[in-house]
Chain A
C-alpha cells in the first residue's frame, strides 16, 4: 500500500463500515420488533393490520422494496460496463458517467434495506404460520441471504469510496471490485427469487408440504426464467431511473456544460433502458413457457383467464414505451448535424409503431351485452377479433422492436458519412436484412392463422430469431462501415428541447408502473394459494381483486416510489458540492 493510498483506504473502509453498521442496526431492530410484536399479539395463523389490511400493506412495501432493489442491482451492472468502456476508450467522460451512476446508489441502498426490514416484520407478524413454514423449508438460504447482503454492502461501498483512489495503474483493482459487486448482487437476486418462484411453481415437497429435495425446491420451473427476466428488467429499470435523474439535472442545469453533461447521461441511461428492454419479451416468453409446463391451468388462467385483460394494459404500456423512446431519439436527432437526412423516415416509422401499438392492445374477446354479442355473432368481434390473437400480437411486437432498432441505427449514424468504398453495398445488405426480417415476421404472422396453436407457438421463435439475426447482421456491417467515417460536425450535447426530458420521465414512470403491474400478475396468478396448489391462503384476503382496484394500488406505489426517488435524486445532486 503506498503512502497516498493508505489514508484513502481507511476512508473507504470507514465508508463501508458505515454501511455495515446501518444494516446491522436495521436487521437487529427488525428482528427484535418482529419478535416483540409476535409475543404481545395473540397466536394466530393470520393477524390483521388495521386500515390498509395485510395484503395491501405487504404488497406496497414488497413492491417498493423490489423497485429499489432492482435499481441498486441494475445500476452497478451498467455502471461497471460504462467504466470498462472508459478504460477501453481511455475517455474520461465514461469514467465520470459511471461514477455519476454509482453516486445514486448510497441512499438507494439505505431505502432498500429499510423497506426490506419493514417487509420482514410484516411477514413475521401478519403471516406467522406461512412465514414459519417457508423459513423452515428454506432455512439454509436465509442465512446465505444475510451473508450476501453484508457482502454486497461492504463491496458496493468500497466500489464507491475507492473510485478516485483506484485510478491509473490501480484501475484494474477497481474493476475487480465492480465485478464482485455485480456477482454479489446477482447472487442476492437469485436467492430472493428462490422463495418467490417456489410459491409460484413449487417443487421438492411431498403432498403434505414436507421438503423432499432442497435443490428441487430451489431449481423449480420458474426460478431460472425469473432470474434472467429480472436481471434484464433491473438493468432496463435502472437505466430508465438514471435517465430520469439526468433529466432532472438537465432541467435544473445552470450552465451549458452542465446541460451537455446531463443530456449525454440521459441519452446513455435511456439507451441502456431500451437496449435491456428489447430482449425482455423473449425472456418473458421463456418464463411463460415454463409456467405452462409447470401448470397448464396456471398458464391458461394467466393468458386466457381472469388475468388476460391485464396483458392489454401491458400492451398499452409497452406500446407507449416504444413510442416515447422513438420520440426521444427523433428529438435527439435535432442536436446531430446531418441527421435531418433521416427525418423522412420518422413519419412512416411512427405509423408503423402506432399500428403495432393498436394491434398489440386489441383484446381477443370483448365484454359485451347479449344484444352486442348477438350483433357480433359471439364474444369475438368478427374483424377486430382477428387482431386480438397472439399471431397478430407477436407480429406487431417484433415489427415494433425492429422499427425501434432501425430508429436507433439512424440516430447512431446521424452525423456520419461512411468513408469505406463498399459503403453502398453494405447499405443494400442492411436494407435487405431488415426487409427479410420484416418479411419473415409478417409471413409467419399470417401463416399462424392457418395452423393449430401447438404449431403456431413455435413460429414466435422463428420471428424472434429473424429479428435478432437482422439486428446482429446490421450492427456487424455498421461498425466497420462507420470506421473512419466523415463527420458533419460534433453532436451538440445540451441542445435538446425540454420536452425530450419529459420523454425520459415518461419512460421512467411507465417502466415503474409496468413493473408494478407485472409483479401483480406474477403474484396474482397464484390466486387463493400461498404456494400454488399446495398451501392455501386461508386469510380474508384470499381472493383476486378487480383489475381496477389492483391498478389503483399499482398507481399509488408508483407515486410513492417517485417521491422516495426524488429524495435519492436530491441527495445525489447535493453530493456534487461535497468531495467523494
Chain B
C-alpha cells in the first residue's frame, strides 16, 4: 500500500512538475501599477507630455487597443497619426479640443473603420482625472510633432482632489449627527468647536477617547455636557476609526481606519447568536429524540 502511495505521489510530482516547467517557457514579465504622478498648474509642457506618456502606457491602458510604434495593437487608431487627423475630424474643433473629447467622450466621434468600444477615460478602470487627461493630450501632441498647447488649470487639479477615498468618515459624521453641532469643512453647527483642523492639535488616540467618553477632555470656551454621554455605545468601534481617519486626513495626517473591532461588536454578537441558535436547536432536537427513544424502550 505504501509503495502504491509513493508511486502515485511520484506521478503527481512528475505531472505537476511538467506543467510548472511549461509555465517557465512562456514569456515572463511583471506588470507594476502606475506610479502616482504629481501634476500642478506649473508643470512644464514637456514634463506634462512625459507624465502623459506614462499614463497612456499604464493607468490609462490605452496601448491595449492603440499603438504608438509599429509593433502595437490595432483595435483602435494608430496614435502617431491622431494629431494629423484631429485637425480634419470635426469642423470648428481644434486639435486639443478634439483629442480631449475623444478621450473623455469617445463615442462623440467614431473614427471610420473602427468599432465603438472605447470607455471614457474618466470612468473606471482608467479613472483619469482632467489633469491627467490633459497630460495625455500633451503627450499625443508631442508624439504628433506639434506644439504642446494642453495646459492644466487650477480647476483640473481641484477636480482631481475631489475623487473620494474609501474612508467613510465624512458620511458617518453626518449619520451620527456630529455636524449638527460642529462645523467641518465649512458646513455644520456652532454649538461645538470646529473640527476641520482638530486633528492638528489632537492625536488620533485622543480623538478616539473623546468619542468613547465625551467628558475625557473639553475644549476651552465650550460648555461641558452637550455631547451625548453614550456616544461610545452609539458609534461602533469600526465607525469610530473611520471618523478619526477622516479628521486626521483633514489635517494632513494619515491614520488607518481599521483598528480591532471588539469581539462584542455588532458582527461578533450576530455571529455568536447564529452559533448559539444552531447549537441550541441541535441540542433540543437530540433531547427530544432521546426522550422518545427512552419512552419507546420503556413501552
A550 CB → nearest B CB, Å: 7
Chain B, interface residues (CB within 8 Å), range: 35 or more
Main SS class of interface, A: helix
Does B267 sit at the interface, judged by CB under 8 A?
yes
The answer on a CB contact under 8 Å between B255 and A43 is yes
The answer on a CB contact under 8 Å between B8 and A543 is no
The answer on a CB contact under 8 Å between B163 and A207 is yes
From B28, which residue of chain A is reached at the shortest CB distance? A546
Does A571 sit at the interface, judged by CB under 8 A?
no
From A295, which residue of chain B is reached at the shortest CB distance? B125
Of A128-136, A387-395, A407-415, the one touching chain B: A128-136
Residue interface bits B281-292, CB-to-A below 8 A is 1, else 0: 011011001101
Q: A129-B256, A313-B23, A546-B28 are in contact. Are A297 and B61 (CB under 8 A)?
A: yes
Q: For residue B176, which residues in chain A have a CB less than 8 angstroms away from its CB?
A: none
Query: CA A330 – CA B282 in complex, angstroms?
Result: 50
Query: CA A143 – CA B268 in complex, angstroms?
Result: 11
The answer on a CB contact under 8 Å between B117 and A552 is no
Query: CA A47 – CA B175 in complex, angstroms?
Result: 30
Query: CA A45 – CA B257 in complex, angstroms?
Result: 8
Using a CB-CB cutoff of 8 Å, which residues 54-83 of chain B contact chain A? 61, 64-65, 71, 73, 75
Interface size on A, residues (CB 8 A): 96
Does A301 sit at the interface, judged by CB under 8 A?
yes
Query: CA A163 – CA B166 in complex, angstroms?
Result: 51
Using a CB-CB cutoff of 8 Å, which residues 110-132 of chain B contact chain A? 115, 117-119, 123-127
Query: CA A43 – CA B258 in complex, angstroms?
Result: 6
Q: Which of A129, A135, A150 contacts B274 (CB 8 A)?
A: A150
Interface centre among A129, A535, A550 (most CB of B within 10 A): A129
The answer on a CB contact under 8 Å between A44 and B258 is yes
Does B15 sit at the interface, judged by CB under 8 A?
yes
The answer on a CB contact under 8 Å between B33 and A542 is yes
Does B16 sit at the interface, judged by CB under 8 A?
yes
Does B42 sit at the interface, judged by CB under 8 A?
no
Query: CA A14 – CA B123 in complex, angstroms?
Result: 55
Of A303-311, A339-347, A422-430, A440-448, the one touching chain B: A303-311
From B24, which residue of chain A is reached at the shortest CB distance? A548
From A11, which residue of chain B is reached at the shortest CB distance? B289
Q: A24-B278, A505-B11 are in contact. Are A301 and B22 (CB under 8 A)?
A: no
Interface centre among B11, B27, B163, B290 (most CB of A within 10 A): B27
The answer on a CB contact under 8 Å between B257 and A129 is yes
Query: CA A39 – CA B268 in complex, angstroms?
Result: 15
Query: CA A31 – CA B263 in complex, angstroms?
Result: 8
Q: A296-B118, A546-B30, A562-B12 are in contact. Are A17 and B282 (CB under 8 A)?
A: yes
The answer on a CB contact under 8 Å between B168 and A559 is no
Query: CA A298 – CA B296 in complex, angstroms?
Result: 66
B254 CB → nearest A CB, Å: 9
Q: A6-B289, A532-B125 are in contact. Are A506 and B256 (CB under 8 A)?
A: no
The answer on a CB contact under 8 Å between B20 and A10 is no
Q: For residue A35, which residues in chain B have a CB less than 8 angstroms away from its CB?
A: 260-263, 268
From A209, which residue of chain B is reached at the shortest CB distance? B166
Q: Which of B32, B118, B267, B289 contacts A10 (CB 8 A)?
A: B289
The answer on a CB contact under 8 Å between B23 and A551 is yes
Using a CB-CB cutoff of 8 Å, which residues 171-226 of chain A contact chain B? 202, 207-210
Does A566 sit at the interface, judged by CB under 8 A?
yes
A293 CB → nearest B CB, Å: 11
Does A367 sit at the interface, judged by CB under 8 A?
yes
Q: For residue A552, which residues in chain B have a CB less than 8 angstroms away from its CB?
A: 20, 23
Q: For residue A316, which residues in chain B have a CB less than 8 angstroms away from its CB?
A: 19, 22
Does B17 sit at the interface, judged by CB under 8 A?
yes
A73 CB → nearest B CB, Å: 20
Additional pairs, 12, CB under 8 Å, beyond known A150-B274, A297-B126, A554-B23: A13-B286, A21-B279, A27-B275, A28-B272, A36-B260, A131-B258, A150-B275, A154-B282, A295-B125, A300-B65, A551-B20, A555-B17
Q: List 19 A-B contacts (CB under 8 A).
A: A6-B289, A36-B260, A39-B259, A43-B256, A128-B258, A129-B256, A136-B168, A143-B274, A147-B274, A210-B168, A304-B73, A316-B22, A367-B27, A505-B8, A509-B11, A509-B16, A510-B15, A533-B127, A548-B28
The 7 tightest CB contacts between A and B, nearest first, are A533-B124, A551-B23, A528-B33, A128-B258, A38-B260, A208-B164, A533-B125
A interface residue numbers (CB < 8 A to B):
1, 3, 6-7, 9-10, 13-14, 16-17, 20-21, 24, 27-28, 31-32, 35-36, 38-39, 43-45, 128-129, 131-133, 135-136, 142-143, 146-147, 150, 154, 202, 207-210, 248, 251-252, 295-298, 300-301, 304-306, 309-310, 312-313, 316-317, 367, 373, 378-379, 454, 502, 505-506, 509-510, 513, 527-529, 532-537, 542-548, 550-552, 554-555, 558-559, 562, 566
